[in-house]
Amino acid sequence: MSRLNTGYGDILKLAIPISAGTFMHFLVVLTDNFFLSQTSDVALNGAGNAGVLYITLGMIGQGFAASGQILIARRVGEGRGHEALNILRTGLIITFLVGIGLVGLVHLLMSCGFSEVFKDAATGEVFDAFMSVRRWGILPSFLNMMLIAYFMGTARARILMWAMIITGTVNILGDMSLISGRWGFPALGAAGAAWASLVAETTGLAVLLGHIGWRHGRALRQSVWMPWAALWKWLRLALPMVLQLTLTLGTWSLFFFLVEQVGIMELKVSHIARNFFMLAFVVSQGVQQTTRTFISGLLGEGRGDELVPVIRRLILVNVCGILLVSHGGLFYPSVLAGPFFDDPVGLEAASRTLPIIFSAMMIYGFSSVLLSSVQGSGNTTAALIIEVSTLIVYICVSILVTLVYPQPVWRIWRVEWVYFSLIGTGSLLFLTRWDWRSKDV
């Protein structure tokens, strides 16, 4: 069994491929919004809200996959790495079945007139057109998540970078050809963006499945189902993470629906601001996954005394990375927002919102690592309690500044200060006041 190394170089070696691949997804979202904004504000807003809802549903698969990553890293740390393929095989089958159920759920919601919640009917029509195609991406997306969990849990992330780069490239080319109609393709508007994403996710899945088949095809076919006792333990570990991630993104979806009640311009600014918030996610996604792998792996190796120094290193890497990629939100926000706005009012609102996003990102740099440490230790129920407590406050403040006392959009986005500060505070209290190193998974 190889010893898990935890120096700065080792952190970067694992985190950078994930972050580089996630950067391609950021470019995908940015490209989607750029081409849609050239079509109309309604297209941008309808597809944007549908995209946020899609990501929320995706958190069901992400919660299951993230808990699988924790299990795989722990088994590798315990010298039982041969069980990783059993976990992968079981996880692929379960996530596929869950994905089919969610596709059916989305169809049911759309047939029941879910888009009628929009104040603007045209935005609701775009939402329907986008979501009718985008829902099918749940299946390849869930399988991708489980494969990513396997490669991260075994500390092999390079293939993920290439898969995400290929996915992003296919999506960008699809956006360019299908949204406004180029190279002989029809102009499909928001539905074109959905088709581009579906094809890209399927392509990324093909890359990862091809790699796993090439490296471990025979071993994967010979692997067995996890025993029911082990599967039940996984489900108990996964359920709090599924609830936590779904509630988090569901609440963020609610935030955008609340902003839509304030005004179309405010919603457009918020979707553009979301793009630049994704810059922090680009860095933090790699660091958070690395955190879960390191925390679980070190606990599996019995190296609990090294956890606090490792967490400090992870926070430093996260904060420095976020500062590197997102400083423009503080120093030149109007330059970043300029390509998306023709009107000076919207540009001014976006320019005042991006510095708020930047400050929230910096808080996120601390809180995301702390919460991932709680998850990586196997204390997923504690992470859920921290999340739910924070979301109750977040929802109340969001309703206050959108429906009760509507505020300018840059003030509305200050609710992110509340959210990330409370997440960080709750996680820090847990890590310093409770015995979290002895959790068995």
Task: Supply the range of the domain harboring residue 169.
Answer: 8-433
* CA 418 – CA 401 distance, rounded (Å): 13
Amino acid at 358: F
Q: Does residue 6 surpass a pLDDT of 90? A: no
Q: Which of 162-166, 251-255, 367-371 has the highest mean pLDDT?
A: 367-371
How many domains are contained in the chain? 1
**Higher pLDDT, residue 202 or 30:** 202
Q: Would 81 be classed as within a structural domain?
A: yes
Q: How confident is the model at residue 24 (pLDDT cuts 50, 70, 90)?
A: low
Domain-embedded: residue 441: no
Would you say 22 and 286 are in contact if contact means Cβ atoms under 8 Å apart?
yes
Residue 23 lies in a domain: yes
Looking at the domain assignment, is residue 269 inside a domain?
yes
Rounded Cα–Cα distance for residues 141 and 53 (Å): 14
3-class DSSP string for 188-232: CCHHHHHHHHHHHHHHHHHHHHHHHHHHHHHHHHHCCCCCHHHHH
- Specify the DSSP class assigned to residue 401: I
Look at residue 289 and tell me whether its pLDDT is greater than 90.
no
**For 88-105, what is the mean pLDDT?**
90
Q: Give the dihedral sign, CA 161/162/167/170.
A: positive
Q: What pLDDT was estimated at residue 20? A: 66
Q: What is the rounded distance in angstroms from the CA atom of residue 325 to the CA atom of residue 403?
A: 33
- Residue 228, sorted as left (phi over 0), alpha (psi -120 to 50) or beta, turns out to be alpha
Specify if 2 maps to a domain.
Answer: no
Lowest-pLDDT choice from 29-43, 187-201, 228-242, 296-310: 29-43
**Region for 3 from its dihedrals, namely left if φ exceeds 0, alpha if ψ lies in -120 to 50, beta otherwise:** beta
Mean pLDDT check: name the lowest of 10-19, 63-72, 240-249, 397-406.
10-19
pLDDT > 90: what percent of the chain? 27
Among 81-85, 196-200, 311-315, the range of highest mean pLDDT? 311-315
Higher pLDDT, 236 or 218: 236
Domain-located, residue 438: no
Encode pLDDT of 384-440 as tens digits: 999 999 999 999 999 999 999 999 999 999 999 999 999 999 999 999 988 887 766
Please calculate the CA angle 100-102-107 and round it to the nearest 5 degrees.
100
Binned at pLDDT 50, 70 and 90, residue 64 comes out as confident
Q: What is the mean pLDDT of the chain?
A: 84
Quick check: is 1 in a domain? no
Q: What is the pLDDT of residue 343?
A: 85
Which tokens is 184 given? 């002989």
- Residue 106 resides in a domain: yes
Q: pLDDT-based confidence at 309, cuts 50/70/90? A: very high
Percent of the chain with pLDDT over 70: 93
118 pLDDT more than 80: no
Confidence of residue 23 (pLDDT cuts 50, 70, 90): low
Average pLDDT on 127-140 reads 87
For residue range 323-378, what is the model confidence (pLDDT) as tens digits? 998 888 899 999 988 887 888 898 999 999 999 999 999 999 999 999 999 988 88
